[in-house]
């Protein structure tokens, strides 16, 4: 089903771009991606977009942002600003989900299971930092529609 949620992608992008080099430099693991391997988000059917977006927002709010504190207050401020944007977007998507407009197909459930498996393959801090460093993968996919 379809949901229309307004959120400032440009603001989130700007926030992430400002800390991208810092965050990605904290992730030394080249051989594993949380979001894009083995299956790319770009291969998902469009009917599953809404559900996987809702699941990913929940994933970032519940499992990523809270484990990404750094010793750099500038970076922390940017992270919390991005987190707030995700929080409000997730709230709107949840309302949509409750109105059965954002149903999950088999493919998105499988994809999300893979993402969680990738995440749980690392310790929490490494997994959270890697996930945050992959935010542009999520944003690129969201903007592609």
Q: Which positions touch other proteins (CB under 8 A)?
A: 9-10, 13-14, 17, 21, 24-25, 30-33, 36-37, 40, 42, 133, 136-137, 139-140, 143-144
**Nearest in space to 82 (alpha carbons), one of 4, 21, 135:** 135
Considering the complex, state which of residue 52 and residue 97 has its C-beta at the smaller distance from other proteins: 52
Spatial separation of the C-alpha atoms in residues 143 and 120, rounded to whole Å: 27
Least Å from the CB of residue 114 to other proteins = 12
Give the residue with the Cβ less far from other proteins, 107 or 136. Answer: 136
Nearest-CA neighbor of 16 among 78, 68, 99, 101? Answer: 78
The continuous run of DSSP H or E covering 45 comes out as none
Closer CB to other proteins, residue 14 or residue 103? 14
Spell out a b/e string for 80-104, using b for 16 or more CB atoms within 10 Å of the CB, else e. ebbbebbeebbebbeebbeeeebeb
Minimum distance between the CB of residue 17 and other proteins, rounded to whole angstroms? 7
Q: Which helix (H) or strand (E) holds 19?
A: helix 9-25
Q: How far is the CB of 58 from other proteins (least distance, A)?
A: 22
Which of 101, 126 has the CB closer to other proteins? 126
At closest approach, how far in Å is the CB of 11 from other proteins? 9
């Amino acid at each position: 089903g379809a949901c229309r949620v307004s959120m400032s992608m440009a603001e989130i992008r700007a926030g992430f771009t400002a800390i991208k080099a810092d965050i990605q430099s904290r992730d030394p693991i080249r051989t594993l991606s949380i979001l894009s391997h083995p299956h790319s988000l770009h291969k998902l059917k469009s009917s599953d977009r809404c559900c996987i977006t809702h699941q990913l927002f929940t994933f970032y709010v519940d499992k990523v942002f809270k484990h990404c504190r750094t010793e750099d207050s500038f970076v922390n401020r940017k992270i919390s600003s991005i987190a707030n944007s995700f929080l409000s977007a997730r709230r709107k998507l949840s309302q949509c989900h409750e109105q059965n407009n954002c149903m999950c197909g088999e493919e998105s459930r499988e994809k999300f299971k893979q993402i969680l498996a990738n995440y749980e393959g690392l310790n929490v801090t490494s997994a959270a930092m890697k996930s945050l460093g992959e935010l542009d993968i999520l944003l690129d996919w969201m903007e592609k529609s």
